[in-house]
Each structure stands twice: as C-alpha cells, then as structure tokens.
Amino acid sequence: MTVPYAQVLDWIERFTVTVAENREYLTQLDSAIGDADHGINIDRGMKAAHGKLEGLEGEDIGGLLKTVGMTLVSTVGGAAGPLYGTLFLQMGTATAGKSELEPEDWAAALDAAVNGVQMRGKAEIGDKTMIDALIPARDAFRSALADGASFPEALSKSAEAAEEGMRATIPLVARKGRASYLGQRSAGHQDPGATSSQLLIKTAAETWPGEG
C-alpha cells in the first residue's frame, strides 16, 4: 500500500479541521503552563496553510508539505510557528518529488521531522514538549514495519505510541519553553505541544487506512 498525493492533502485538510475542533482544548492546556495561545496559533496557521494549498499545481508531496511549513513559520507566533514550520519543512525535504508515499518514505519523513524539531528546540524525551509524542510515534512506526506490519497497522501503532507519550507528559516537570519557568508547578499538566503532535499523528492514522 502507498499513500497518494490526494490522501496526503486529505490528511492536511483533516488536521486543519481537527485543530479547529480542539482549539479551545489546546489553548486551555496552554493556559495552565504557557501563554494560553497554542490552540489559537496552530488553528490560525493551519487555516492559512490550507488556503495556500488550493493553488498548488502538480502532485509533489514534498512541495505540499513545504508550503504548509513555510506558511506556519510566517503566520504563527510563539514557539509553535518555528517548531511546526520546521516539522513540515523537514517532512517536505524528505519527500521531495514524490507523488505517493511508501511506508519507508513516511518513516523517513517522521525521522526528518523529529530531527528538525530537536535541532530547533533542543528538546529531548522527558522535557515535556512535542518531542515526547513525536519520538515514540516515529520509533513505534519503524518498529512495527520491522516486525512485518502493514502500512495501516504501523500507522495505528504510531498513533498509540504518540498518545502514550502525550499522556506521559502529565507528571513531568517542564525543562523547555515557557512552561519551564514554572518549575515544579508545571507537573500535573498535559503538554499542549505533545497534544497537538498526537493529533497530527492520529489524523494520519485515521486518514490513511487503505487495505492492510
């Protein structure tokens, strides 16, 4: 099974809708340990990115993802713009010129996304950031493929791992970003960046079921 350009576009569209539906929830999470703008910022950025996609020509998945990334960098304030922008830009670089994604292409895209976000934000697992959802998602996807899972099965495992990683941020003390200023008071709250990252991975798993 492969994921064609149209389904990658569908993933971006569905993520845009999912972010809009969860805007208040993400902002509520951010109000506890951040600037109370994560949901608002991601929603604005994805809507702006979605608006740019209608004018794209051809079926270059890399170009599609880079357009999303560049739009997020230019329209989203705070930490979310540079981090999510980098995520999509790196995914776009990893998939440049492709009109469909093989499982290994998506594994490479996830790897590039994680590396880009880590380079930009300097975060590691346990720092209470989006990395806490993204690294488990990447590792679970690649592990599932190595065990012989189909593309949809591996996506499902990836989404489950992202959710576990997201929930694992609740007891953590933040070591990066605005939340780190709170010290011990940041414990007991789910990280908003890990939450939006989990939504991104979950939406891919739900959009690309295909045939096992």
66: domain CATH number? 1.25.40.340
- Supply the pLDDT for residue 210: 56
- Supply the pLDDT for residue 211: 42
* Dist CA 193 CA 176 (whole Å): 11
Total domains present in the chain: 1
Residue type, 18: T
State which residues of the chain have pLDDT below 70.
210-212
List the one residue out of 168, 173, 193, 196 whose CA is nearest residue 183: 173
Q: Please give the residue range of the domain that contains residue 129.
A: 3-207
The DSSP letter of residue 184 is G
Tell whether 212 is covered by a domain.
no
- Supply the pLDDT for residue 212: 37
Per the CB < 8 A criterion, the answer to whether 66 and 50 are in contact is no
Residue type, 23: R
- Supply the pLDDT for residue 45: 96
Tell whether 145 is covered by a domain.
yes
Tell whether 169 is covered by a domain.
yes
